[in-house]
């Protein structure tokens, strides 16, 4: 991967907007990953594959006894729901956004292991296993956002709504676009550079 931070910010922001729409409809996606993201003719990101989507109850929660999602992107609280009734909310999608951003900027998922058991162990022990390779430059804002997503659900960014995600410095400390203008167009040259 050679995704610039500018491109990563743009595509991450588009995922934020897509999730906001899904969450406002009362659903949790539960399988946010690059394979479920498509680009339209204008270069805008669209979420796909709603097979694991589930309707939230009136409290914004889901009760499930099945761990669903893709191993590298699955949140600890979904893993904990395996064989027992787990209760979780929108925060599971924000965890996956953190994995997606990490992968765009660093070229691999943060908790990858050679085995499924190893990956799940790293996710469940994320406090000890989240690391940033020193040889890859990463802004303070990008690191902060990733850490804010890949943390305990009780303090995870997005838990209290999309507003706190949109207000993060990673999204506000630049001049490329605003939340109001992002869907109006993209720079075709930047898109071609990202594709190459």
Predicted local distance difference test score (pLDDT) of residue 98: 99
Active-site residue 93, yes or no? Answer: no
Identified catalytic residue from 20, 31, 72, 93: 31
Helices 5-24 & 91-106 angle (0-180, nearest 10)? 160
Query: Do the domain assignments include residue 65?
Result: yes
Query: Do the domain assignments include residue 77?
Result: yes
Could you tell me how many residues make up the chain? Answer: 196
Query: Do the domain assignments include residue 192?
Result: no
Query: Do the domain assignments include residue 189?
Result: no
Query: Do the domain assignments include residue 190?
Result: no
Which tens digit of pLDDT belongs to each residue from 20-53? 999 999 999 999 999 999 998 888 999 999 978 8
Query: Do the domain assignments include residue 185?
Result: no
- φ, ψ at 62 (rounded to 5°): -125, 140
Q: Is 72 exposed, middle or buried (0-12, 13-18, 19+ CB in 10 A)?
A: buried
Which tens digit of pLDDT belongs to each residue from 123-167? 999 999 999 999 999 999 999 999 999 999 999 999 999 999 999
Q: Which of 28, 46, 36, 15 minimizes the C-alpha distance to 166?
A: 15
This prediction has a pTM of 0.90
Cα–Cα distances (Å) from 193 to 6, 7, 125, 152, 189, in that order, read 11, 9, 36, 35, 6
Counted domains in the chain: 1
Structural domain of 95: 5-176
Query: Do the domain assignments include residue 184?
Result: no
Query: Do the domain assignments include residue 42?
Result: yes
CATH number, position 147: 1.10.510.10
């Amino acid at each position: 991967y050679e995704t610039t931070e500018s491109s990563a910010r743009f595509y991450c922001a588009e995922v934020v907007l897509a999730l906001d729409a899904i969450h406002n409809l009362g659903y949790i996606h539960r399988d946010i990953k690059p394979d479920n993201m498509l680009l339209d003719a204008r270069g805008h990101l669209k979420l796909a594959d709603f097979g694991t989507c589930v309707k939230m109850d009136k409290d914004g929660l889901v009760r499930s006894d099945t761990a669903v999602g893709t191993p590298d992107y699955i949140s600890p609280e979904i893993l904990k729901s395996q064989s027992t009734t787990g209760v979780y909310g929108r925060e599971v999608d924000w965890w996956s956004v953190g994995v997606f951003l990490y992968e765009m900027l660093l070229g691999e998922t943060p908790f990858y292991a050679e085995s499924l058991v190893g990956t799940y162990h790293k996710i469940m022990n994320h406090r000890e296993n989240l690391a940033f390779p020193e040889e890859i430059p990463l802004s303070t804002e990008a690191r902060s956002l990733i850490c804010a997503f890949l943390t305990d659900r009780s303090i995870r960014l997005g838990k209290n709504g999309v507003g706190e995600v949109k207000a993060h410095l990673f999204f506000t400390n630049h001049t490329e676009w605003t939340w109001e203008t992002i869907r109006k167009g993209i720079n075709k040259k930047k898109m071609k550079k990202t594709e190459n």
